[in-house]
Structure 1
Amino acid sequence: MAQLPPLRALQIFEAFGRLGTVHATAQELNVTPGAVSQQLRLLEDHLEMVLLVKDGRRAALTPVARGYHELIAQGFGRFALAQDYIVEHRLAQELTISCLPTLLQRWLNPLLPAFQLATSDSSLRLIAQDLEPDSHMLEHTFRLTYGEVGRRYTHSRVLFTDFCFPAASPEFLARHPEALTPEGLARLPLIGIDWGAQYTTEPHWRDWFLSQLATEPPPLRHVAVYSASGMGLEAAAAGQGAVLAQWSFARDDLAAGRLVRLSQDRLYLPDPYFVCWGQTTLNQPVARHFLDWLMQIIKPIREQTRQQN
């Protein structure tokens, strides 16, 4: 295969053949007329043939050069189509949302039908993952997460600050009515939740009992410890034990009667939940719409979180 000419020379040749003058070519490509003439001579030297002839005071393409230009123009047309493809991909209506698993399952997912109703032409790609994405790779994606990690992303906003309380199945409470007092609850089977080493501020049972008892709690009996809050709530609804439930994750189970609240006191999480996004995320119209929608629907949820007893 013959060595191709420099791409810059081909670009200038394509523009010259389309526009007809050195001056117009220089204006379109934001270069000097001298640079245009230099690149055209460079192309002639590379091809070892004359491409331009004088036609009065203007330069014109030779017959062979016109055929060559037609083929070159097709190539640059394909370049333009490729660029349009990339732009369409970046502005596509598919929105990617990465989320902590229980935050996605128990909090965001029930809210999404309202968003999808308002943006019927959008498509959502939902990723449930505990591992935080690289903040520099969060290009066209939102990340919903908890705690100080949310402030490490390029852009972030606070969603809400949740609170927790003991909860259990109605059957568990019927078997263990002493669960309604901190002293009685401390002696019963407890379901633990541990999000892992990267999250160090979420409340645990010991924090709850320290807030309720005047003294250090006795040794606690954990029948199981789950890495995700949603699994702990399911275990509690199945009667395995009492769980330290977050309001935002447990409210549907409470409303349906699958769980009952064992105390009206509350222990607030020390950190809020965040929505985070990358440098180019909001280039998507659907992403801007999602963020606006999310910040609107979060207002009454914040109020419910403050007022719920």
Structure 2
Amino acid sequence: MNKLPPLTALRAFEAAARLLSFTAAANELHVTQSAVSRQVRILEQHLGHKLFVRLTRRIELTMRGESYFLKVRQAFEIICDAELHLNGRKQRAPLSVAVLPGVASLWLIPRLELFWRENRNIDVRIVVDTGAADFRRTQMDMAIQVGALPGTRAKGLPLGKRMAVDWHGLHADVLFPDALVALCHARLWRRHPVREISDLGQHCLIHTAIRPDAWVHWLREHGGRIGVGQKAIECSQYAMALQAAMNGEGIALVPSVLADSFDPEGRLRRLFNGPTPSAGQYYLLTPADRYEDAPVRRFRSWLLTQARELR
């Protein structure tokens, strides 16, 4: 027990390492920034190693600090579990997943009941997030992202999207391909048929903010371009774009997996022989230190099964 580091210093270190900020850690612990910095220095002196690299406007963990942080966080989780058992509360494992809004609302959430039927002891928390996955600054256990892996090149529509802030120690499991499909309601097509790319000029194009240049890249791939004075609607999410197309307001360009989930009956007409692949895929991202945790492992196995059935 005499070898234990100061527990106050450990709390300060864990918060600063998780948030990569002495200021954010101080806000979480309700102390001053200088108090957190002082406690971290005490811990470094106790261990005889530097845990952080202190830069001008930010901090980074050293290699020893990175390794130490993983062990400290696991120890804190064990302490929290011990309290649950001591108080006789039934333990339910929390699992936080960051998901792109369209995938969350149109594909994942409608399927979650299937997971809960067999995993009543796991509380799944879905957090909608359009930014790159950042497992350091958030409490996420996993993330569903779309894009290309670092160092890979693929033909297809460009995405221009970064999937993760830091790829160190991340596992990436493929879920399904990313491909965009142009579609409109059948009654709109009957009024103004779309057989050639040039026919799009008489229609309103439905854009989505999450991929604002999608129509530009798609039209370029098919030898067309957005005309001068082209009518347009911009929606913040794919679900809104699909609903606008269902209402006959124009032609939407959305990932085929989301279109199929939104419109399984096929009321929306797919144009130009179906989807056009992008240069990316949908991935499930998981930090290495959580990859074998029981709730993470069970959710990953279930999610990959759902994706295989879809493919």
Equivalent of 2:217 in 191, 199, 207: 207
Change in Cα spacing, 1:220 to 1:86, as seen in structure 2 (3 Å) is: farther
Q: Which residue number in structure 1 is paired with residue 293 of structure 2?
A: 284
**TM-score, normalising length: structure 1:** 0.61
Name the SS of the counterpart of 2:280 in structure 1: coil
Shift of 1:92: 4.1
Instruction: Evaluate the alpha carbon distance shift between residue 294 and residue 87 of structure 1 in structure 2; reply closer, same or farther with a 3 A threshold.
Output: farther
After TM superposition, give the deviation of residue 117 of structure 1 in Å. Answer: 2.0
In 2, Cα distance between the equivalents of 1:99 and 1:218?
34
Q: Does 1:254 align with 2:263?
A: yes
Q: Mapping of 1:177-192 within 5 angstroms?
A: 177=193, 179-192=194-207
How far 1:289 sits from its partner (Å)? 0.6
CA distance in 2, matches of 1:94, 1:143: 15
User: What are the ranges of 5 or more consecutive residues in structure 2 without an aligned counterpart?
Assistant: 5-77, 149-161
| Cα RMSD after superposing both structures | 3.2
Q: Structure 1 counterpart of 2:218, which letter?
A: W
Supply the distance in 2 between the matched residues of 1:268 and 1:231 (Cα, whole angstroms).
22
> AA paired with 2:237?
A
Residue 301 of structure 1: how far off its partner (Å):
2.4
Q: Which amino acid aligns with 1:84?
A: A
* 1:125 counterpart residue number: 125
Structure 1 counterpart SS, 2:284: strand
* 1:142 paired residue number: 142
Query: What is the CA distance between 1:126 and its match in structure 2?
Result: 1.0
What secondary structure does 1:160 align onto? strand
> Hey, what does 2:107 align to over in structure 1?
107
Question: What corresponds to 2:190 in structure 1?
Answer: 174
For 1:161, which of 154, 177, 200 is the aligned residue?
A: 177
Change (3 A) 1:240 1:233: same
CA contact (8 A) 2:96 2:139 kept: no
1:292 Cα deviation from its structure 2 partner: 1.7
C-alpha distance in structure 1 between counterparts of 2:294 and 2:3, whole Å: 37
What is the TM-score of this pair, normalised by structure 2?
0.61
- 2:264 partner amino acid: A
- The structure that has the greater radius of gyration is 1
| Conservation of the 8 A alpha-carbon contact between 1:140 and 1:282 | no
Q: Distance in 2 between matches of 1:126 and 1:216?
A: 38
Instruction: Please give the alpha-carbon distance, in whole angstroms, between the structure 2 residues aligned to 1:211 and 1:144.
Output: 27
SS at 1:168's partner residue?
A: strand
- Matched to 1:182, the amino acid is I
Q: Give 1:211 shift.
A: 2.8
Describe how 1:236-247 pairs up with structure 2 within 5 A.
236-247=245-256
**Cα distance in 2, alignment partners of residues 251 and 241 from structure 1:** 18
The answer to which structure has the higher helix fraction is: 1
Identity of aligned residues (%): 20
- 2:103 is aligned with what amino acid? L
* Structure 1 gap segments, 5+ residues each: 1-6, 11-79, 197-201, 303-309
Corresponding residue SS for 2:130? coil
Contact 1:139 1:278 in 2 (8 A): no
Q: Deviations over 1:75-120 (max 9, x none)?
A: xxxxx9767138999x842221111111111121233222222213
CA distance in 2, matches of 1:220, 1:86: 63
Most deviating of 252-261 and 114-123:
252-261
Name the aligned partner's letter for residue 277 of structure 1.
T
1:264 aligns with 2:287: no
- Is the CA contact (8 Å cut-off) linking 1:93 and 1:123 kept in structure 2? yes
Displacement after TM superposition at 1:176 (Å): 1.6
